[in-house]
């Protein structure tokens, strides 16, 4: 089970964020940055609908490292946007490969705060979709409240252009930033992701369960799909089903997988559902 390597990290010898940014740019050029994919499933059917692309750094010294251990140190550097475009392109190409192999899955890609302020982002994403032959509804861009707060009006305008192309918008980590219900009305959101901090203890914590219930009801009243992150056990998944949550992802369902393993998991999951229905 892959977990983030916390700071202080094996990159301490690189010292400053600038040196880390340079090291990451070298890693990008050498192909050390790769994607794993975590399925999102419909809670009522168990069917995988899409996957979230998650960045990993296969460092020669530290091994496979998750982004929490290195991206926070380079958020103000250009390499962050370079990595973001690399992730988008790789994820879309992978989605195309899966579709041609008979495993059609949508893909979600996280957008960096800096990219959200880029007026060229809608055109850049549109070109990537065309280049990789992926329909707009096969892509969801995940944004965070914190990122939007940089410049709400400008971000909203850019996101409306993206949504106008038929690309999905997901508000990630909902509830952990400076949450504002007005933001749900100002942004062209299709999907709301409830942060794992509320999900992980909801079976044992009545307050957490109440928060999840309220968010699910509000989001669905506004016409948003609701995804629960960080589902770690069957009890939590059952409780989410009772509350009417639409989709879920987490280690109880499936850990992030490298691309070659994902089709086998999808097919095995489908066989398991068919067997359960037959019984």
Token couple for 240: 């989410």
Q: Is the pLDDT of residue 5 over 70?
A: no
Which range among 126-130, 159-163, 268-272 shows the weakest confidence by mean pLDDT?
A: 268-272
CA 121 to chain CA centroid, nearest Å: 18
pLDDT tens column, 217-248: 989 899 999 999 999 999 999 999 999 999 99
pLDDT at residue 278, rounded to an integer: 60
Q: Are 246 and 231 a contacting pair, CB within 8 Å?
A: no
The more confident residue out of 75 and 205 is 205
The number of C-alpha atoms within 13 Å of 7 and in the hemisphere containing its C-beta is: 11
The more confident residue out of 227 and 59 is 227
Sorted by where each starts, the structural domains of the chain and their CATH numbers stand as: 12-278 (3.20.20.450)
d(CA 273, CA 245): 19
Tell me the pLDDT of the chain averaged across its residues.
87
Q: How far is CA 256 from CA 11, 56, 226, in A?
A: 23, 10, 20
Q: Is the pLDDT of residue 12 over 50?
A: no
pLDDT tens column, 131-167: 999 999 999 999 988 788 788 899 999 999 999 999 9
Q: Are 69 and 7 a contacting pair, CB within 8 Å?
A: yes
d(CA 208, CA 211): 5
Res. 11 pLDDT band, cuts 50 70 90 = very low
Angle at 207 between CA 189 and CA 108, to 5 degrees: 25
Span 165-173, mean pLDDT? Answer: 94
Token couple for 7: 């700071």
């Amino acid at each position: 089970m892959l977990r983030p390597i916390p700071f202080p990290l094996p990159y301490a010898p690189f010292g400053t964020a600038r040196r880390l940014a340079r090291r990451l740019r070298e890693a990008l050029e050498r192909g050390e940055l790769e994607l794993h994919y975590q399925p999102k499933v419909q809670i009522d059917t168990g069917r995988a609908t899409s996957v979230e692309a998650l960045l990993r750094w296969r460092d020669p010294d530290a091994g496979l490292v998750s982004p929490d251990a290195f991206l926070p140190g380079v958020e103000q550097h250009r390499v962050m946007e370079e990595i973001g475009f690399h992730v988008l392109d790789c994820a879309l190409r992978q989605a195309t490969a899966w579709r041609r192999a008979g495993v059609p899955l949508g893909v979600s890609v996280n957008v960096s705060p800096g990219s959200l302020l880029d007026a060229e982002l809608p055109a850049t994403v549109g070109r990537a979709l065309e280049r990789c032959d992926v329909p707009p509804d096969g892509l969801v861009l995940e944004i965070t409240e914190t990122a939007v707060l940089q410049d709400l009006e400008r971000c909203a305008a850019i996101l409306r252009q993206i949504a106008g192309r038929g690309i999905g918008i997901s508000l990630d980590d909902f509830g952990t930033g400076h949450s504002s219900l007005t933001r749900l009305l100002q942004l062209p959101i299709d999907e709301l992701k409830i942060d794992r901090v509320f999900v992980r203890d909801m079976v044992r914590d009545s307050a957490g369960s109440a928060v999840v219930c309220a968010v699910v009801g509000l989001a669905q009243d506004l016409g948003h799909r609701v995804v629960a992150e960080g589902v770690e056990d069957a009890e939590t998944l059952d409780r989410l089903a009772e509350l009417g949550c639409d989709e879920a992802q987490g280690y109880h369902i499936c850990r992030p997988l490298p691309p070659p393993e994902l089709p086998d998991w999808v097919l095995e999951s489908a066989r398991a559902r068919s067997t359960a229905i037959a019984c």
